Structure 1
Amino acid sequence: MTEAVDFQIRRPVLIARPGARAQLLEEALANHGYATVMLGVMTLDPVTPDPEDVLRWCRQPPDWVICISPTAVTRWAEEVGDRGHRLCRAGVHWAATGSSTQELIAEHFGRTSLAPEPDNEEEGTSASEALLALPEFQDMTGQQILIVSGHGGRPLLEETLRARGGEVNILPLYERNLHNPTFEGQRYLEAGNYAAMIVTSREQLDHLKDWCGAIAFRRPLIVSSRRLAEHAAEQGYQRIVIARDATPGALASAMVRRAAHCDTADADDADDRQIDDDFGNDEVQQDDAPDSDKASDS
């Protein structure tokens, strides 16, 4: 087992995630002895909202403020500035899609927010689905909801809350922009000479495919959700590990666990396809039938 870990450490881990959480992930991996290479394929760039919209929400706060990412919280704090105390008055409820977002809400606004418990989520449940499963969001009749987010993304949260009777407004405060990988990253992707690659969105995964050589599709790929893992399998990636959630600690732990499961260096290059699920001990094998377009339990 030690030999497998040493083998992994000699090669870098490629990181596709953007922003501050990429740096936290880099630090978490470094604590386990892994070198990293930032691919630089995505940036989270600010979007300036209409000042009247921001002023309106500060003057007449909604019943719920839902932040869908740490970046959404940070950008919201930047926009509201010292007017943010109005959003913290009694009667305004806060919600987050995960623990990292929840922590930033407490840091910037001093508020406790509702968020799904990662350990209680069903296997394969997305952050939005887990949030929507909470009792507080089953009947939203007459509730005014502000979703602070980035441009694009799945409309599941908005559509479901509206279908449950809520009056939903979206405030996009940043956008995701794609870029070519760094020159160093392109070399690693083409040669497949790395320990693993960590990807946290479908956009990153689709974009990186154009730079991946044949060996790269056989290298370990660590993703943050089962939905993303299934899409990766459709793209042809053969050794996929699903982290428990998208936090830097969970992604780093998935990398460590993946290395520990390698009996030898050659195990990574085996030509079998599997999705290794960090939610538990079950493994999901990809159906190799030509017309299969999803992973199936076995």
Structure 2
Amino acid sequence: MICNDRLLITRFAPHAQQLVDALSEVGCFSIAQPLLTVAGLNDPHTLGAFLSGQYDVVIAVSGNAVKYAQDNIIGEWPSAEYYAVGESTKESLRLACKQRVMCPFSRFDSEGLLALDALQDVAGKRILILRGEGGRDLLENSLIERGAQVDFFQTYKRVKLDLDGIHLVNYWQQASINGAIISSVEILNQLFVLVPKEYTSWLCRLTFYVPSQRVADQARLLGVENIILLPSLQTNQIVDFFHNK
């Protein structure tokens, strides 16, 4: 089967190159170009409360949130109800905490988490959200409205890479890029900041492959017309998706 997609992969390193390598094995051309990097944060107070078992529910909203939490944990994760925003984060969290992890069945974002039956009756529960610095407040506000006490464990921050937008766009155009895999709203917004305005119309003509309705909605607001939801951000599922198109 011939793969006509020529993809820009904007995920964090090293995941971008790993996906490029996997796609090449099924004959799909792609370029790895991370737009952001991450740096771990230190929050000993929240970490201590977490490790002492003060939380009934722990929710991870990204794989990086899990990774940088794990970097601070010596020994076992405390017993709790664990939730993840999507399949990829679920697998990372399951391996880290070695407990059962639940996640949405279809919509992989805060709205999907909030729709889970298990998170409807949380009155009186203490909930810890693992996330990066400056994440969304929807999950927190909704859980508080349902009667929960919510804290954040911000385990990392996003850092913009110093990139030459004009040089990169010329390279992408020469490579006949016709699609982009965008894993988050933050990466999506950074792509539109990086690309000079005179190339915005070219960027908007690409097909954007995104993991959630939230990212799709933001892409549409920015002018993107062709948007396709991915089944997951797990590398094997993305490869299967393009291999079977």
TM over 0.5: yes
Residue number in structure 2 paired with 1:53:
46
Q: Which amino acid aligns with 1:104?
A: S
The C-alpha deviation readout for 1:191-213, integer Å capped at 9, x for no partner, is 68214211122222222224262
Asked if structure 2 preserves the Cα contact closer than 8 Å seen for 1:144 and 1:168, the reply is yes
Task: Give the CA deviation at 1:190.
Answer: 5.7
Matches within 5 A, 1:188-227: 188-189=171-172, 193-209=176-192, 210-211=194-195, 213=199, 214-227=201-214
Matches within 5 A, 1:84-163: 84-85=76-77, 87-88=78-79, 92-117=80-105, 121=106, 125-163=107-145
Unpaired runs of at least 5, structure 1? 261-298
Residue number in structure 2 paired with 1:285:
none
Q: Which amino acid aligns with 1:222?
A: Y
Task: Give the CA deviation at 1:254.
Answer: 4.4
Residue number in structure 2 paired with 1:244:
231
Q: Which amino acid aligns with 1:186?
A: V
Asked if structure 1 preserves the Cα contact closer than 8 Å seen for 2:19 and 2:235, the reply is yes
Identity %: 26
What CA distance in whole angstroms lies between the structure 1 residues aligned with 2:60 and 2:41? Answer: 15
Asked if structure 1 preserves the Cα contact closer than 8 Å seen for 2:55 and 2:127, the reply is yes
Candidates 37, 50, 61, aligned match of 1:43:
37
Asked if structure 1 preserves the Cα contact closer than 8 Å seen for 2:16 and 2:33, the reply is no
What CA distance in whole angstroms lies between the structure 2 residues aligned with 1:226 and 1:53? Answer: 31
Task: Give the CA deviation at 1:256.
Answer: 4.3
What CA distance in whole angstroms lies between the structure 2 residues aligned with 1:238 and 1:66? Answer: 32
Aligned pair 1:231/2:218, yes or no? Answer: yes
The C-alpha deviation readout for 1:19-57, integer Å capped at 9, x for no partner, is 4433442233123222322222111221111x2332232
Task: Give the CA deviation at 1:15.
Answer: 0.8
Task: Give the CA deviation at 1:172.
Answer: 0.1
Matches within 5 A, 1:25-40: 25-40=19-34
C-alpha RMSD of matched pairs (Å):
2.5
Residue number in structure 1 paired with 2:55:
62
Task: Give the CA deviation at 1:174.
Answer: 0.6
Asked if structure 1 preserves the Cα contact closer than 8 Å seen for 2:86 and 2:108, the reply is no
Task: Give the CA deviation at 1:167.
Answer: 0.7
Unpaired runs of at least 5, structure 2? none
What is the TM-score of this pair, normalised by structure 2?
A: 0.85
CA change 1:236–1:60 in 2 (3 A) is: closer
What CA distance in whole angstroms lies between the structure 2 residues aligned with 1:135 and 1:219? Answer: 37
| Between 147-156 and 160-169, the greater mean CA deviation after superposition | 147-156
Asked if structure 2 preserves the Cα contact closer than 8 Å seen for 1:224 and 1:251, the reply is no
Task: Give the CA deviation at 1:220.
Answer: 2.1
Asked if structure 2 preserves the Cα contact closer than 8 Å seen for 1:19 and 1:43, the reply is yes
| Count, aligned residues | 240
Q: Which amino acid aligns with 1:72?
A: A
The C-alpha deviation readout for 1:80-139, integer Å capped at 9, x for no partner, is 212x35x03xxx22111122222222222211112222xxx3xxx342222211221111
CA change 1:190–1:129 in 2 (3 A) is: same
Q: Which amino acid aligns with 1:64?
A: V
Structure of greater Rg: 1
Task: Give the CA deviation at 1:166.
Answer: 0.6
What is the TM-score of this pair, normalised by structure 1?
A: 0.71
What CA distance in whole angstroms lies between the structure 2 residues aligned with 1:99 and 1:126? Answer: 8
What secondary structure sits across from 1:66 in the alignment?
strand
Task: Give the CA deviation at 1:189.
Answer: 4.2
